[in-house]
Structures are given as C-alpha cells and as structure tokens.
Amino acid sequence: MGRIWEKYLDERDLINYSTSGFGENYGVGNNPALIIVDVTYGFTGEEAEKIEESIKKYPASCGVVSWEAIKHIQALLRTARDVKIPIYYTIIEGYKNHSNDRVAIKGKIFDHPSLLEGEKGTMVVDEIKPVPGEIVLSKKKPSAFFGTPLLTHLITDKIDSVIVVGCTTSGCIRSTVVDAFSYNYKVIVPEECVFDRSITSHAINLFDIQQKYGDVVSTEKVISDLKLLQNKVKVNC
C-alpha cells in the first residue's frame, strides 16, 4: 500500500528523494517519551462534526479528522501508560489580558473567547485527558519546546527518542519534530495519530518529516515497538 503523500508528488520527486538516500528510519530508542501536542477542544471541536460547522464555535478546529486521530491516540496512550514511559501534553492558550504578542500563528484566531487562557477550547479532550504524573505544558508558539520546560524534563528523564502525536501536522507537529530532531532526539510520528485541517498540507508535511526529520510509521508499529521494548527491559532486569 502506498504512502499518503504519493498522490501529491511528482514521480521525479519520489525517485530523486529515494535515490539520494533520504527517508531512512531510526526506530524507537531505548528510553522514549510520548508528546501529545494540542489535542484540545479548540482544535477538535466538542464532537465529530464537519469542519464547516465546528469552526463556528472553535475557529481553529480541524473537524472530523481530529476525532478519527483521537481514536488512534487513545490506543497508543493506553500502551504508553502500560509500559510506563513519560507522557507530556501541550496546550495553546491565547492571552486573557490584552497583548500585542502573536499566539501560535499569524492573525488573531487565538484572541477568540473560546481559546483564551483557562477556557474550554484550551483543555485537553476528555477522551485522552492527563492522569496524575503526566505533565501538561502551556505554550504560545508552535513548537512544544519553545518557551516551555519540555527539554529539561526530557533531559531529567534521560529520554533518547520522542513519539509526537496531535495537531496540526503542518504547524505545531512539524515545528516540534524539527526542534526535537535539532536537539538530537530520534523522532517517531505515528501517521494516524496526527491531523490537520488540510489534507494536502497534512500529506506533504508527513512526507517532509519522513524524508528529513523523523520516522512516519503506523500507530500499530509504534505500539508493537513499545511492547517489544517493555519485554526487552523485563528480560534484562
């Protein structure tokens, strides 16, 4: 079965990238962490409805595709908790008080009342809400690393690889992946666990991530790799 991005690319592009040696996979490291990026009501809406309806209440919503991804994130999250790897969440909150600072993207979307600090649009959806011991980091820019203590947590936990899920593929996921790669972490992106409001942007950014910054693989493979890692730890104990 082909990759999601293939129909958007010229055949020459696919040949040139593969011939040049791009797209190698590194796999999950020995001490991975899960980073769940911005899976909040502001990006998902409160139910699985068409994006045209969802953006009436939450202008940053990705609509139905977010709820499809949430199902896969739930499965991955269960495994991550079972194997006891560190789990981090990020949320984006617009400033409650007046500010000239831009939040997350160009424009004034995050000035919307539903997306301000403490409002429902900034809360992680109930289906994957954090449990005690899991860290939630508030951010104002795309990357989970920018302006947050995420890196210090990863260093403290001796993390060597990160599994990045959430939204949007072309924005906060991509910037988080690039920063993680820049800090020398192996990066894994479970394809079904990330989403975007644009299928074209979603596909092309997954292609770029796979070629240059991380492993874009199935959620099933990531779950399998985590279970194998747990078994390996048990054998070595």
Yes or no: say if 218 and 190 are a contact pair by the CB < 8 Å rule.
Answer: yes
Separation CA 54–CA 149 (nearest Å): 32
Catalytic site residue 172?
A: yes
Alpha-carbon torsion, ordered 24, 27, 33, 34, to 10 deg: 70
Separation CA 66–CA 196 (nearest Å): 8
Q: Which of 62, 167, 172, 193 is catalytic?
A: 172
Please give the helix or strand (H or E) that residue 222 lies within, else none.
Answer: helix 219-236
Alpha-carbon torsion, ordered 50, 55, 57, 58, to 10 deg: 120
Which residues, including other chains, have CB under 8 Å from residue 231's CB and lie 6 or more apart? none
Residue 195, token pair as written in the block: 């989403």
Separation CA 39–CA 33 (nearest Å): 17
Which amino acids are annotated catalytic?
172
